[in-house]
Amino acid sequence: KTEAEAKTTADSIYKVLKRNRSKFKSLLSLSSDKVSNEKDGVIEFAYTAGFAPEFKAYSFENPKGSLGVVRTDFGYHVIEILGQGTFQQAYKVATISQAIEPSVETVDEVFKNKSKFEIAVADADFETVAAENNYEVRPVSSIKELDENIPGLGAQRAIVRWAFDDSASEGDFKSFNTTAGGFVVVKLTGVNTAGLMSTESGSVTALPEIRKEKKAEIIKDRISATTLDEIATAEGQTIKTAVAVNMKNPTLSGAGREPLVIGTAFGLAEGATSELISGNSGVYAVQVTKVTAAAALPSYQAAANRVGKAKENAVNTQLYNALKDAAEIEDNRAVFY
């Protein structure tokens, strides 16, 4: 049917029912809604999510006994409200999102302050001028030529390209737009040349290891006790028990990865106590309380195959890396990235 024909039919049914509601069932043959026809045209309101908005609005916003014609995207409906449940207060909740963006005046003010800062640092110390203006300085220890992210700034490939450009020299500075909005003034504080790193650069990674080693020596020198109970009492510690320790995953609960400690434990007999061990997270003394031997397998061929395959893959990887190291490769990726 066309829309006009459907409306005419619905209006005709409405006029008949308005005079005599008892004829509703006899007029179902004129309806194209076969689903509701199976229940004599009655629709339960247990599930309303699939109702058309107009259908739902008429059904819930009119009193019991109302009769009307409602148009939806599915066609025309002749609706009689047969019953309604308990009325309860309901709320409609909506989320309205609005982007918070700086005004033109704010952007202009920030740009002006950025320009003033650039002019000031041309003849003065960068950190001093930043401190005078309450600007935050975020030192970055080192970046590589193909890096994209700058700590604290996110994706800033333009900054990396500038830092590695032949025209940039140590002490140069330049401003950039940030991906999050705003500006950042970047200063090139140093250039690392090929070869051995400088003492200052090496100290960043070396000092923590040296301090850890010296601390371990101090702790071991002051401990004269030989049993776990004596060591724990002297150091004000409690003895902790590690269960299901294995060499495949050399970690200790609460301490993390400790391969040297685990390896030492596996070299002890049951009941034996180790000497003091310098681990990654502290100084340890371990006592083996129980050794559980691995269950014997009828065949170890599957394990041998796994080990062999792993070594085969390792050889292929090492061979590729060896060929790469032996070749003279000129890496120009940074030119196009």
| Structural domain includes residue 258 | yes
| Structural domain includes residue 291 | no
Contacts of 278 (CB under 8 A, 6+ apart): 213, 216, 220, 260
- Output the pLDDT for position 85: 76
Can you list the pairs that 136-143 forms with residues at least 24 positions away whose Cβ atoms lie under 8 Å? 139/189, 141/201, 141/204, 142/192, 142/201
Cα four-point dihedral sign 65, 69, 94, 50: positive
Residues 209, 176 share a domain? no
**Side chain identity at residue 124, one-letter code:** A
| Structural domain includes residue 289 | no
Range of 121's domain?
104-187
Number of H helices, E strands in the chain: 11, 10
- Output the pLDDT for position 330: 83
Q: Cα separation of 182 and 117, whole Å?
A: 14
Residues 216, 173 share a domain? no
| Structural domain includes residue 235 | yes
Question: Which parts of the chain have pLDDT scores under 50?
Answer: none
CATH of the domain at 42: 3.10.50.40
Number of domains in the chain: 4
Residues 324, 277 share a domain? no
| Structural domain includes residue 193 | no
- Output the pLDDT for position 283: 95
Nearest to 166 by CA among 3, 39, 335: 335
| Structural domain includes residue 85 | no
Tens digits of residue pLDDT in 67-112: 989 998 888 888 888 887 777 787 889 999 988 888 999 999 999 9
| Structural domain includes residue 238 | yes
Q: Which of 187, 217, 245 is the last residue in one of the domains?
A: 187
The alpha carbon of 1 is separated from its chain's Cα centroid by a whole number of angstroms, namely 55
Q: Is 287 helix (H, G, I), strand (E, B) or coil?
A: strand
Tens digits of residue pLDDT in 282-312: 999 999 999 998 888 899 999 999 999 999 9
Residues 276, 240 share a domain? yes
Determine contact, residues 266/247, Cβ cutoff 8 Å. yes
Cα four-point dihedral sign 230, 235, 236, 237: negative
| Structural domain includes residue 50 | yes
Residues 274, 221 share a domain? yes
pLDDT > 70 fraction of the chain, expressed in percent and rounded: 98
